[in-house]
Structure 1
Amino acid sequence: MTDFKDKTLLVTGAAGQFGRLAAAELLARGATKVVAGTRDPAQLADIAAQGVEVRRLDFDDAASLVTGFAGVDRALIISTVAPNRREQQTAAVAAAKAAGVSYLAYTSAPHARPNADAGGIADHYWTEQAIAASGLDFTLLRNHIYADMTLVGAGAALASGQLFDATEGGGRNYVTRADTARTAAGALLSASGRDIVDVTGPAPVTQAEVAALYTRLTGKPVARVGLTAEQLQAGLEAAGLPAFYAALLVAFDRDAAAGYHAITTDVVERYSGRKPQALVAFLEENKAALAQ
């Protein structure tokens, strides 16, 4: 692998959880010219104090894309969560190319495809296509579902004693947000050429196993309840989730049912230098959060 630590490295969406982790990893690994892009630079005063250049970068603002990518050698485009994210992200890719960026890392999703049943995952596919057509070098980081999401879903499951899903018993190779961010930073620092990789945890875990972990770690019985994709979509919307976001979650369940999430790779270790944390270890480490 090549060492790009002295190149100008941009992280978009740097005020988010993923972006902050990636920027911190770049600094920890010796990057000398880190640029943090965000819609609101005031949110990154702490990062600026560490010597990071903070720029306003809004994927819905063409002018900020021009100034945000100016002088950048390599960029990490962190996927957005918005109804128009396909347009946002393809605009960012075009701006990067126009600015002379030589390499893009992009946080995608497993089995990105344009099919109607892919939900928001289709946005990742079209972004991947735009990156591939750009002529730039790239690493498409197909991040599997965050282990962190099991903390988000734990409250309702522990309160009701039921964990609902539409995975049909398929496994998910949960990977922590921290591991994916360290992997993205590592790719930005060292990857070359053009590559598509799955970023996974160490082994797939079924929803029945997740329910059993909730039970073991809290002492509260939780049973896994299988639903159809349509039932899950309706339930998530009834619980107050916007339809767009609910569709993203349901699409992930559909893909787990199809086996697309049961892949295991060494990508985390390859780019971060450490083995991925297993879901059980993550939940044990965050046991206090399960009790809230």
Structure 2
Amino acid sequence: MTVAVTGASGQLGRLVVEALLKDGSQPVVAVVRDAAKVADLAERGVEVRVADLDDRAALERAFQGVDRVLLVSGNEFGKRVAQHTNVLRAAEAAGVKLLAYTSIPKAEANPLILAQEHTGTEAVLAEAKIPTTVLRNSWYWENYIGGLAHAVESGTLYGAARDGKVSGAARADYAEAAARVLTTDGHEGKVYELGGDETLSYDELAQVISEVSGKPVRYEDLPQADYAAALEGSGLDAGYAAVLADADSGIADGILTVDSGDLQKLLGRPSTPVAEVFRAALA
């Protein structure tokens, strides 16, 4: 059985390929736009096939002889539903037996800006002619790494999550879970709500940063608009800043709190502690 991963040069896709290589039970195909970015994977026995998510014909060629596909959600906002539909249609035409998709928690009722295209994609998948599996990934602890050094230096972690909590996990945990779905049976038609063992408030995240850095860090909660403005002032694009501030509002409302245990069942172990992720980043 051959498995393929789209977006295999990206942060999550590459980790999924690494998990598949570690498992070693199936031939692996990396579907990418630029083969040069995964030359190292090709040297390790991964078959690299080039296809753009906008090019359905190229995707169909890339999926020839593939049994299972992981569709890692794209990063071109505004185009993702159409691109994901291209992947599904190409997989159907190529005779793929299972397509798994990385989505967002509670997608059917998730009000976040980030959720909109996931909700649209899941609606398309619901009408698929082949079996599908939905992997609703909660937050990656790595999402906070970009602001980690500033939090340590300034002594303040900023956000707009109030006292809401987020069930995060390491990106590699979600990648390993996806690899498990690609290499084991019984996942057809399943929707997995994936979140880590730790469900933490931003006050608690600030405490973890203090512990791993050895410097006092506190959490300062801002109104959503003020947080968006602060992110924009730090150099982020206005649209992206608004998306991140909106995500914090969702955390405040509990939309990224996940207690299903699905991630742990797929992994067969607890999720990676946030302290371990932050300690590695600061090192």
Question: Taking structure 2 as the reference length, what is the TM-score of the superposition?
Answer: 0.92
Taking the aligned partners of 2:244 and 2:73, their CA distance within structure 1 comes to 15
Taking the aligned partners of 2:51 and 2:237, their CA distance within structure 1 comes to 25
Counterpart residue number, 1:198: 193
Counterpart residue number, 2:98: 103
| Aligned partners of 1:113 and 1:122 also within 8 Å | no
Look up the equivalent residue of 1:54 and give its one-letter code.
V
CA deviation map 1:233-258 (0-9, x unaligned): 22222222223432332232122111
Taking the aligned partners of 1:17 and 1:282, their CA distance within structure 2 comes to 15
Aligned match of 1:75 in 69, 73, 98?
69
Aligned match of 1:91 in 70, 73, 86?
86
Aligned partner of residue 205 in structure 1, secondary structure: strand
**Runs (4+) of structure 1 moved beyond 4 Å?**
none
Range with bigger deviation, 244-253 or 75-84: 244-253
Taking the aligned partners of 1:64 and 1:258, their CA distance within structure 2 comes to 41
Counterpart residue number, 1:59: 53
| Aligned partners of 2:4 and 2:70 also within 8 Å | yes
Look up the equivalent residue of 2:242 and give its one-letter code.
A
Taking the aligned partners of 1:166 and 1:217, their CA distance within structure 2 comes to 23
> Are 1:132 and 2:122 counterparts?
no
| Aligned partners of 1:109 and 1:124 also within 8 Å | yes
Alpha-carbon shift at residue 87 of structure 1 (Å)? 2.1
Look up the equivalent residue of 2:21 and give its one-letter code.
L
CA deviation map 1:152-206 (0-9, x unaligned): 2212222322211111211111100010000000011124321111111102011
Alpha-carbon shift at residue 269 of structure 1 (Å)? 2.9
| Aligned partners of 2:161 and 2:251 also within 8 Å | yes
Counterpart residue number, 2:233: 238
Counterpart residue number, 1:276: 271
Counterpart residue number, 2:180: 186
Unaligned runs of 5+ in 2: none
Identity %: 37
Unaligned runs of 5+ in 1: 1-6
- Say if 1:29 and 1:50 are closer, same or farther in 2 by CA, change over 3 A: same
Alpha-carbon shift at residue 267 of structure 1 (Å)? 2.2
Aligned partner of residue 141 in structure 2, secondary structure: coil
Look up the equivalent residue of 1:216 and give its one-letter code.
E
Range with bigger deviation, 32-41 or 229-238: 229-238
CA deviation map 1:87-140 (0-9, x unaligned): 22222222222222121111111122477x521211111111111111322221
> Are 1:254 and 2:249 counterparts?
yes
| Alignment map for 1:110-129 (pairs within 5 Å) | 110-113=105-108, 117-129=111-123
Aligned match of 2:144 in 143, 150, 155?
150
Look up the equivalent residue of 1:213 and give its one-letter code.
V
Look up the equivalent residue of 2:20 and give its one-letter code.
L
Tell me how large the CA RMSD over aligned residues is: 1.9
Alpha-carbon shift at residue 54 of structure 1 (Å)? 0.5
Counterpart residue number, 1:220: 215
Count of aligned pairs between the two proteins? 281
Taking the aligned partners of 1:272 and 1:194, their CA distance within structure 2 comes to 19
| Aligned partners of 1:168 and 1:226 also within 8 Å | yes
Taking the aligned partners of 1:149 and 1:279, their CA distance within structure 2 comes to 11
Counterpart residue number, 2:282: 290
Counterpart residue number, 1:4: none
Counterpart residue number, 1:210: 205
| Aligned partners of 1:121 and 1:248 also within 8 Å | no
Aligned partner of residue 192 in structure 2, secondary structure: strand
Look up the equivalent residue of 2:251 and give its one-letter code.
A
Question: Taking structure 1 as the reference length, what is the TM-score of the superposition?
Answer: 0.89
Aligned match of 1:34 in 28, 36, 43?
28
Alpha-carbon shift at residue 213 of structure 1 (Å)? 1.7
Taking the aligned partners of 1:269 and 1:88, their CA distance within structure 2 comes to 30
Range with bigger deviation, 226-235 or 138-147: 226-235
Look up the equivalent residue of 2:228 and give its one-letter code.
Q
- Say if 1:167 and 1:124 are closer, same or farther in 2 by CA, change over 3 A: same
CA deviation map 1:27-74 (0-9, x unaligned): 221333211100001222221122221100211233322212222211
Look up the equivalent residue of 2:190 and give its one-letter code.
D
Aligned partner of residue 242 in structure 2, secondary structure: helix
